[in-house]
Amino acid sequence: MKKLFVSVLGLLIFLPTFSIVHAETDELGYEFTTKKASEIDFQDGDFFVVLLSGEPTDPNALYAIYETSEIEKYEQDYGLDDNEITTFAALPTKFSQYYSSSKWITRSGKVSLSLQPKKPAYQEPPGMAGAHLQKYRWEVVKNKHSKDSKWKNTASMKAQLNCHADYPKKFKTPWNIEPWRTETNYHKVVLKGCNP
């Protein structure tokens, strides 16, 4: 009986600290979770964020968080792969469709990856279309530059890129994402002008 009591007590202590994440579904039936900007940390995994409501600078702005697996499911459902894209979901998948140029530069003695974005890089369609654009906006940069010795702190670079696309968009170019920076909390990145 004492052993059972200790087990139940341990479970009661553990349960309040364990939070259950409830998935929602978008208009196409794909799952996402909702988080406030201040709760998004790109160090937590491979996901893509779509603004649902609020301003990017607001810590309570709500984002839909799509896991990569849901985006891949969408691509399979609609026949998207590296060789063929259906007309239904003809979204850009190549570097040249998102950026007109990219190069490593030095600013104030520190390395930066300078990107000149095109419109698809900062478009904001809702739901899965937005998550799909984000996936490729990020992957084309990562695939092109991540093997370079200058590439570091991937999660921070992803947060910086998302910030540039979410907030200054076309009004502040080029976008400079800096591998020496380490901040991965999305709200903190946005508050510091995308380069915390």
Q: What is the pLDDT of residues 29-73, one digit of tens each?
A: 899 999 999 999 999 999 999 999 998 889 999 999 999 999 999
The residue whose two tokens read 């984000």 is: 134
Q: Is the pTM of this model over 0.75?
A: yes
User: What gap in Å lies between CA 126 and CA 108, rounded to an integer?
Assistant: 37
110-128 b/e with 16+ CB inside 10 Å = b? ebbbbbebeebbbbeeebb
* pLDDT tens digits, 80-127: 655 544 444 567 889 999 999 999 999 999 999 999 999 999 988 888
Which pLDDT value is given to residue 82? 52
User: What gap in Å lies between CA 23 and CA 65, rounded to an integer?
Assistant: 9
Which pLDDT value is given to residue 5? 41
Query: Contact, 52 vs 34, CB < 8 A?
Result: yes
Q: Rounded to whole angstroms, what are the CA distances from 188 to 57, 175, 192?
A: 9, 17, 6
Question: Regarding predicted confidence, which is higher, 9 or 179?
Answer: 179
Identify the band that residue 15 occupies on the pLDDT scale cut at 50, 70 and 90: very low
